[in-house]
Amino acid sequence: MELKKPLEKELKKEFMAKAISLADNNVSHMEGGPFGAVIVKDGEIIGTGKNQVTSHNDPTAHAEIQAIRDAAQKLNSYDLAGCEIYSSCEPCPMCLGAIYWAHLDKLYYAATKDDAAAADFDDSFIYKEFSLPKEERSIPSVQMMREDAVKVFDNWIHSENKIPY
């Protein structure tokens, strides 16, 4: 039993090393930003991702999102409970939200958001925006047609075919 903890710790280091390697390889090949992530289930990597924002012209193609997409496809499930994510850097607000939505059990990260900010990947303005009243945010937010949209929620509530998530 005493061997389990050191072996587990070494395995976790291997998973993080893989995430960091994906980030480094991404920089070497100029495929996107310096970020990598892996998703692990039962001690095996089941999903990998690297930042592909610029190579895919997709602002959501962050490493964590890509790893979540890969793992979800391989597991054929939107629910990644029972899995852990290893990220080369502390996730941005979008990725952190996706980690929660995917129901991942645990997040491990290497570099901090301050380390990322020092490399010109600063997400602090987004966190600040979240705390502002909608009318003070830099992107105007206008509500419209609420009644029509609420009817769709009512249809969902009463649907017998819905798959809750």
10 is catalytic: no
* Residue 106 DSSP one-character state: E
Catalytic choice (14, 44, 64, 90):
64
Map tokens 């289930």 to a residue: 41
Map tokens 């979540």 to a residue: 68
Rg (C-alpha) for the chain, rounded Å, is 19
Q: Give the burial class of 146: count Cβ atoms within 10 A of its Cβ; 0-12 exposed, 13-18 middle, 19 or more buried.
A: exposed
> Distance (Å, rounded) from C-alpha 120 to C-alpha 116?
7
Which residues are tagged catalytic?
64
